[in-house]
Amino acid sequence: MAVSAFPSDTRHHRRDVAEINITPLVDVLLVLLVIFMVTAPVASGRLDLRLPQVSPTRPAEPPPRVELRVQADGVYLLDGHMLMGDELPAALRAIARNAPTSVLQISAAEEADYQAFARALAHAQRSGLDNIAMQ
């Protein structure tokens, strides 16, 4: 009896290959490795923070407030002192010279002339006072 080099179909049982394809797993792991290698130096970096220190000195006092009120009859009240229109520029320059950080608060009476208010504002700006508040 001759022996065949090929087994017969009845005796040959085909087996399925039950292996896991690890190529996609290796690809994902390599991508994660690259991401971690790039982000690790950034995450371990130090921030140079200079926090404010507590100072033993007292906080600065607020600047003095000066009130200028335009009356209905065209008279100006500078901290309660009555001034005429021609006296106002010199008084404002004196305040700017003596206390340049003063806050000048300008207000007007309800019946006051707009032109008198605008003139007071212009004199205040020309006097050198930088802090002008309108009410």
pTM over 0.75: no
Q: Residue 14: what pLDDT?
A: 67
Q: Residue 34: what pLDDT?
A: 93
Report d(CA 80, CA 134) in Å as an integer: 17
- pLDDT tens string 66-79: 999 999 888 899 98
- pLDDT tens string 17-64: 677 888 999 999 999 999 988 888 776 767 777 888 877 777 778 888
Question: Which residue is it, tokens 């090929």?
Answer: 6
**CA dihedral angle for residue 32, residue 38, residue 40, residue 44, rounded to 10 degrees:** -160
- By the 8 A CB rule, do 127 and 89 touch? yes
State whether residue 109 is helix, strand or coil. coil
